[in-house]
Structures are given as C-alpha cells and as structure tokens.
Structure 1
C-alpha cells in the first residue's frame, strides 16, 4: 500500500518519510485545500525526497476557492508547472473546471501538454464535477493520459467512510485505466477499514502515517 502524504512545507518531510510515507504531495495553504508552494520550498523538498528515492507530486493551483480559472490564472499555472518540471518534480497535481460543472478541456489540454513526461493527478476538483458527469470525466481523464484521480467520493464535509460505495463505483468503472486515489479524512486509524472495503493500491492524506 503506497501512502501519499500531503504536506504544506518541508519541515515534517524527513520524519514522515522515516515513518513510511511512500510519496509526497507538496502544496501550500492546506487550509484552503492546497496551492502551489514557493519554488525554494519545492527545490529543497524535491532534492531531499529524491535522496531517499521518494517521488514528489507538486500542486499546481494559484489560489483557494473554486476550480474555474481566468486566462491569467491559467498563465500562472503554466509558468509554475514549467518551473517545477525544470527543478525535478516527479509529477503535478492539478485540475480545471468550467462553470457548467465539467472539465475545462482547453485549459487542461494546454497544461497536460506542458506536463508531458510527468505523472499527473487530477485533484479533488473532481468532486466538484456534476455527479452525473463524473463517470464521463473518468473516461476523459484516462483518454488524455492522466495517471490518477484524487477524490473523496463525495462532498468534503462528508465522512470518507460514508463514501465507500461511490468510491468503489469509480474504481470498478475506471477498470485499471486510471488510478482512483481516495483522500480526505483517511488516517492511520481508519486506513485498514477503508482498504478492506475497497480494492486500492494507493491512499492519500495528511495523517496516514503514525
């Protein structure tokens, strides 16, 4: 079981890796769901993690709030993505929606093109896609080379234990075309319950290692 630990700075990274973190998601401002870190934080974290053979997934998100971005914000994301790629990030975590509850296809294709050669996670913006469109979104993301979808299986205010049926539906529908990465409320205390209920090889959280 690969445990991806979400961190908002370098401070606890060495301890988390020592305790079993198998991959790091690096972001800032966890209180708003994560935004892009400074390039200094990214550089130091990536170098340290690579010295321990640990991959780093870097958040590409210019602000908190919704996932509908202006042209200027997409430009910010492009600059950040290119720079993080240059300094060695293993992957990026991103997601763009439009105001109809669907993927902003044009912006995503632009960012995915810049991210070629990196692992791609579509973040919990997925949970803001209209529920009726989520299975179609799995198709679209798989077809466009996205590696995994980070999802809570429902609104973030719900308990992830209450979303296991929906998460299993995603996993079954994805059928190994794309990884479904459960996150949001998974801890070392409920991890066994969740992994016993659904067939997953990766989990995500801030408190999934002791």
Structure 2
C-alpha cells in the first residue's frame, strides 16, 4: 500500500504556514495537514512555543495534523554539535507541546549527513508512538536526490519533501518520479516548490505522487519601511485561502477521476 495521501484516500495537500492567520486559511481552504514554521521568507525555522500552541488550538478541533519544522538557524544544513543539540532540544519541546510530526534535514558536501540525522532521530526515542518524520528539501541540495530514499527509510522517515533537485517540483518531475519508484510505497515522496493549481495535475500524472506541498501564498503587506531601513529582510508572504481552495479542488477532481 502506498504511504502518504490525505483523508478518504485522496491525494494529500500539505500547506506550510508561519502564522495563526496562515493556519486558519490553510484549514478553511481544505488542507489535509499543516507544516508549521517560523520565517518562511527564510525557508522556514523552528516555530516558537506560543505560535505552536495557538495553531494547535485551532487545528485540533478541525482534526488537522500539525507537523513542525526543526531548523535552528537559517542558511545551510551542515550542523555542528551545538546546533544539533539545539535541534534535538527543539524537537523534544515540540513533541511535548503535541505536534504530530517533525520536519528536519542535515547534509554536508552534497550528501546527507547520516551521522547527524541518526543522532537526531535516536534522540526522539520515546515509549509512546514516534512522531511522523519528514526529511525536508535538504535532499534537493544533494548530488543525487534519489540517493536519499534508502537512508531516509532506514532512519525512520515516513516522507521526503522534494522538488527533485530543481528550482520547482514541475521542473524536477523526472527525478521525483524516480524517487517515487525507488520508495516503492515504503515512504511517501511529497512534491513541493512552485506547486500551484495550474500545474498540480500534470505534476501528479508525471510523478505518481500521493502528496503535494505548497505555501499557497501571495505578497503580504506593502514594503515595510521600518524593516527595510533596519535591514530585517523580506516581508512575510500571506497564505491565500483561495489559492489553497483551488489546489484542493484540482486535487479532488483527480481523486474522483481515479476512483471512477
């Protein structure tokens, strides 16, 4: 049986958000799961405890799982001992708060940092059911993203988020298809980056994926003069409920056709 997917056997839709408003829009638009981060404009960082609590408070009643990013700093994914210890502490705190899954990755010199990943996963050992684990787009920095499939499965990751090593998932569709074939149902290959309502059907047909990931976001408020003056970086983007709903509609049409 293929792993992954959404409720009722449909193709799953995960929306990444970095605010309570984004979580509300994702849920209202029809997301199956939320990936919760801070600072999506920086690629996503570990969310604060307050943000996690606020999002869980609205996602729980809606029965929408929340998976949280564990990324202790922006930049690359080559973590030293201090950063790895921090990532482990963040993971433990997130689990204690009640998130259902964790998203993490580590790599060096074009290859997965298997030692760091194993140490991080081993640090999650608990008597209760383990969290769902996603290996994030660090795989798209590898010389061969498909080579990440076997070690990810061996370490206990239940899904891999990838654009197939390309700037967008549609551009990396051939590699994503190879990853799906290599996984052979043992973990879910989830396509993300540049996934929109107007390309998701072709992406699903070309790859055989059962889960898609996107931000479904648009430009936020106009340029913030204070942030610009202080050099705080790009303004946040805002999750667009209509973009989420359009993705949901196209995905459900594909599911319905497949069930006919």
In structure 1, the partner of 2:147 is: 136
Give the match for residue 203 of structure 2. 194
Deviation at 1:189, TM superposition (A): 2.3
The counterpart of 1:118, out of the listed 115, 131, 140, is 131
Stretches (4+) displaced over 4 A = none
The 2-side partners of 1:144 and 1:61 are apart by: 18
1:179 aligns with 2:214: no
- Say which of 73, 78, 82 aligns to 2:88: 78
Secondary structure of the equivalent of 2:15?
Answer: strand
TM-score (norm 2): 0.75
Larger of the two Rg values belongs to structure: 2
Displacement of 1:81 in angstroms is 0.4
How far has the Cα of 1:187 moved from its partner?
1.3
Query: Which blocks of at least 5 consecutive residues in structure 1 are unaligned?
Result: none
> Are 2:83 and 1:48 aligned?
no
Write out aligned runs for 1:132-171 (5 A): 134-156=145-167, 159-171=168-180
Cross-structure match for 2:78: 68
Q: CA deviation at 1:196?
A: 2.4
Aligned residue among 206, 211, 214 for 1:205: 214
Asked if 2 retains the 8 angstrom alpha-carbon contact of 1:187 and 1:206, the reply is no
Which is worse superposed, 108-117 or 171-180?
108-117
Distance of 1:47 and 1:114 partners within structure 2: 27
Tell me what 2:110 maps to. 101
Aligned to 1:21: 31
Provide the secondary structure at the position in 2 that maps to 1:160: coil
Aligned residues: 205
